[in-house]
Amino acid sequence: MSERTGLEEDSQEFENGGTRNRRHVWAWYALSLGLVCADQLTKLSAVAGLQDGPTYLLPFLALRLACNTGAAFSILQGLSGLLAVVGVVFGAYFGWL
């Protein structure tokens, strides 16, 4: 009777459909979806709550609404169409991998 190594088990599981790998992928998809939803909810909350002006949490700490129309630090500001196309292309490429 031969004992199988973990590597052999992983390779056989991969050949048989890789249920464990699929579970990990779906867990990452669920985590990503949850983070995107949390991000959008905080943005909606900020727009709704800070439109009338800053909210002071402490005398020296205030929340202010500021919108960025570009990428990080307003890079490519005003070129949102180009940013969208580049994002879709990169998303499709990495999704295909």
* pLDDT at 36 (0 to 100): 96
* pLDDT at 7 (0 to 100): 60
Residue ranges of the chain with per-residue pLDDT less than 70: 1-20
* pLDDT at 83 (0 to 100): 85
* pLDDT at 62 (0 to 100): 95
* Tokens read off for 7: 């590597």
* pLDDT at 9 (0 to 100): 58
For 43-80, the three-class secondary structure string (H helix, E strand, C coil) is HHHHHHHHCCCCEEEECCEEECCCCCCCCHHHCCCCCH
Average pLDDT, the chain: 83
Contact 41, 27 (CB under 8 A): no
Q: Which amino acid is at 37?
A: C
* pLDDT at 30 (0 to 100): 94
